[in-house]
Amino acid sequence: MPVRVQTGDFDAGAEIAALRGADPRVGAVASFIGIVRDINDGDTVSSLFLEHYPGMTERELDRICAEARGRWDLLETLVIHRVGALRPTDQIVLVAVTSSHRGEAFAACEFIMDYLKTRAPFWKREDTPAGQRWVEARATDQDSAARWQASETEPPA
């Protein structure tokens, strides 16, 4: 159930291959990659800085993955989140999940991402033409995470 917080980039293909290993029970891999956009809230973003709370961040990510494993029949989970200076088109985060069947893999991957967005202590600071600004939390992210509280294993439509 690896969780990594790192400044360097990651190779999603190599990470997923390592996660699968040679396990013949794996019938499905679902993964998500988050990428830095060049526009946010209507402003051009030239670069951003990601801060975290060392120790607590890793523990929260571990807890989110453990909760996913409690809800679905998963084989492995992986979360890699970058911190430090990033630019548009850079990869920020990788979530990958293996299971025997696709339904569980899809759902668990989305769940981990929704909980990461609202619970894991990371903060983004953007550089825009108007100067530096800390990104404000979005209500829509709270709504996405809240869907999973109503249902154990499926977000309502």
In angstroms, give the least distance from the CB of 138 to other proteins.
8
Provide the residue type at 21 as one letter: G
Stretch that binds other proteins, among 21-29, 68-76, 98-106, 119-127 (CB under 8 A): 119-127
Number of residues that bind other proteins (CB under 8 A): 26
Strands 91-99 and 84-86: unpaired
Site membership for other proteins, residue 53 (CB under 8 A): yes
Count of beta carbons in the 10 Å neighbourhood of residue 68: 24
Select from 19, 29, 50, 68 the one that contacts other proteins (CB under 8 A): 50
- Could you identify the residue written with the tokens 């030239």? 46
Site membership for other proteins, residue 119 (CB under 8 A): yes
46 or 101, CB closer to other proteins? 46
